Structure 1
Amino acid sequence: MRVAITGSTGRLGRALMAAFGDAPFTGPSGPVGWDRAAFDLDDAARTADALLDRDRPEVVVHAAAWTDVDGCARDGELARRRNGDATGALARACAKRGVDLIVISTNEVFDGTRRDGRGYAPDDPAGPANAYGASKLEGECQATAAYDAADATGRLAIVRTAWLFGPGAPDFPHKIVRAGEKALRAGSSLWAVGDEWGTPTYTHDLAEALVWLVGEDAVVAPGERVAIHHIVGGGLASRADWARDVLGRVGLDVTVDEVPGSTWSRASTPPAWAVLAPTPLPGREPLRPWPEAMADYALSLRRSRTASNSTTRA
């Protein structure tokens, strides 16, 4: 089976390339990676048609996005083009060719004001509170419209996830390690937000779940054309909880002081309740609890910290 992945050099894209590369159904050549230069979010209609005609995939996983949430807040129109219109263009190109498409989306399509302790379910009404979330929801809507209108046999799965961490560009755990080292040198505590809650999700685990969806032909339910899945790590945490977990795993004895999210002035305000209720996937266990995933990822964090300290001493 031919699988193509947009955003193939990003944090999630790398995990997807590795996971699909290990999947027996992709064959010895593995997945096709479409990086930022190949699939241009600013010229999506042209590049999508060209890439689909050249590589002829049966499944496309769309992980490319403009994830600079503050940049999205400063230029909402650019965010709409890159996350909304580009996704729509790719979806229309895939739909007319009968290609299955998996669109990676976000918890930020919800405003995060829920106070009943439940995670957001796929059928809960979306209502983003920031430009990034609005642009991703626009992409979901355009993709859904494309597949609803298409005559071909392709299917669409929208996969929402939250609080991704994993190797690649500095993620929350890496930022906490750096901040913890700085606090330790200064003999001070570390501030972390205590009133923002989410479901930390390891990119490796999410990628394995997507491989399962494709390999088991479970992208959508039998007889359906479009599906929305919430795939996130097990359990939930505040940013402060997560920070304490990270610091403990890398051996940094630093006190974490909880502060409200309003402590920092940010162009884009994140949802206070970023918790998604995971979609049951018949025949597959849910993603493992996020602390178990962090235990694996901490090996990488410790190696990174050791390498950084060695470079500093040299």
Structure 2
Amino acid sequence: AFDLDTPDGIGAQLDRDRPEVVVHAAAWTDVDGCALDPALAMRRNATATEVLAEACAARRADLLIVSTNEVFDGSRTDGRPYEPTDTPCPGNPYGASKAEGERLATVAFAQRPGASLGIARTAWLFGAPGRDFPSRILDAAERARAAGEPLRAVGDEWGTPTYAADAAEAIVELLAADAIAGIHHVVNGLFATRADWAREVVTRAGLEVEVVNVPSSTWQRPSHPPRWGVLAQTPLPSGEPLRAWPDAMADYAPRLLRAAGIRT
């Protein structure tokens, strides 16, 4: 295991296991926690990534880092998704720590040529296990219905909901094709607001609850997510992009509803 708080032992693990490629999916993803302790966020998401990258580069082991759309601040107003060629400009401590991790890993591999570094950015992940956005929306919708109230959902944040199973398959495809080098935006197709996504969940659950748009300022949080967090899909080795997020939700919905005890 790679402990983000004590990363210095990773070299010994690499010497023991001698992997050809390492996928670094560990991160401190509590965005509000990162906002409350930016220094800890940097240690866990940037410094630990640097230690791992230096260890991999020294042993000529390829490294694929899973990163986030929050390396961008979301201030873009031209309606274009963020491309891998766009310069990171994080707007919160979580995004800053992940962007710094990307930068430090890039420096480490540039200093020791011979292995490949890849960065796979994704966004708005959903899927088992864990308390994902659809699960939380179902709980909130049930409470709203019981209270005879509409479900309030944020209507001024846009992103690319991405099924974790699809993202994992895309990463496997990159590995299998020896095509991890560079920056990849691994997200499902199309984009949505949080409110759009909530409506999709409520509809699939067959719940008669009105979903109303509210601004993100309705709830005060330590962290401020990007208002426009949409990533442009990058081609996979097969040449096919990931499917649209509503299609992925259709596959995930039966499992989601079973876990929630909802029959449709």
Q: Percent same amino acid at aligned positions? A: 60
Match of 1:85 in 2: 47
Aligned-partner residue type, residue 166 of structure 2: D
Superposed CA RMSD = 1.1
Contact 1:250/1:301, CA 8 A, preserved across alignment: no
Determine whether 1:218 maps to 2:179. Answer: yes
Aligned partner of 1:54 in structure 2 is 16
Which of residues 40, 51, 60 in structure 1 aligns to 2:3? Answer: 40
Stretches of structure 1 that go unaligned for 5 or more consecutive residues are 1-37, 221-226, 310-314
Partner of 1:301: 256
Q: List structure 1 segments (4+ residues) > 4 angstroms apart after TM superposition.
A: none
- Cα distance in 2, alignment partners of residues 93 and 239 from structure 1: 39
Instruction: Give the SS at the match of 1:274.
Output: coil
Contact 2:170 2:236 in 1 (8 A): no
Decide whether the 8 Å contact of 2:177 with 2:237 is kept in 1. no
Question: What is the aligned counterpart of 1:256 among 190, 211, 225?
Answer: 211
Show the counterpart of 1:198: 159
Contact 1:144 1:156 in 2 (8 A): yes
1:238-288 Cα distance to aligned partner (Å, 9 max, x none): 000000000111111110010000111000000000100111234331000
Amino acid across the alignment from 2:7: A
TM-score normalised per structure 2: 0.97
Partner residue of 2:193? 238
Q: Please tell me whether the aligned partners of residues 59 and 101 of structure 1 are also in contact (alpha carbons under 8 angstroms).
A: yes
Distance 1:41 1:305 in 2: 32
Q: 1:284 aligns with which of 233, 239, 255?
A: 239
**Matched residue count:** 263
1:22-41 matches, within 5 Å, as 38-41=1-4
CA distance in 1, matches of 2:122, 2:160: 8
Stretches of structure 2 that go unaligned for 5 or more consecutive residues are: none
Report the residue type matching 1:257 in the other structure. Answer: V
The equivalent residue for 1:129 is 91
Match of 1:181 in 2: 142
Between 1 and 2, higher relative CO (CA 8 Å, sep ≥ 6) is seen in: 2
Q: CA deviation at 1:54?
A: 1.8
Query: Residue 192 of structure 1 aligns to a residue in which SS?
Result: strand
Q: How does 1:57-72 map to 2 (within 5 A)?
A: 57-72=19-34
Equivalent of 1:75 in 17, 30, 37: 37
Shift of 1:174: 0.4
Secondary structure of the corresponding residue to residue 72 of structure 1: helix
Helix, strand or coil at the partner of 1:257:
strand
Task: Quote the offset at 1:56 in angstroms.
Answer: 1.4
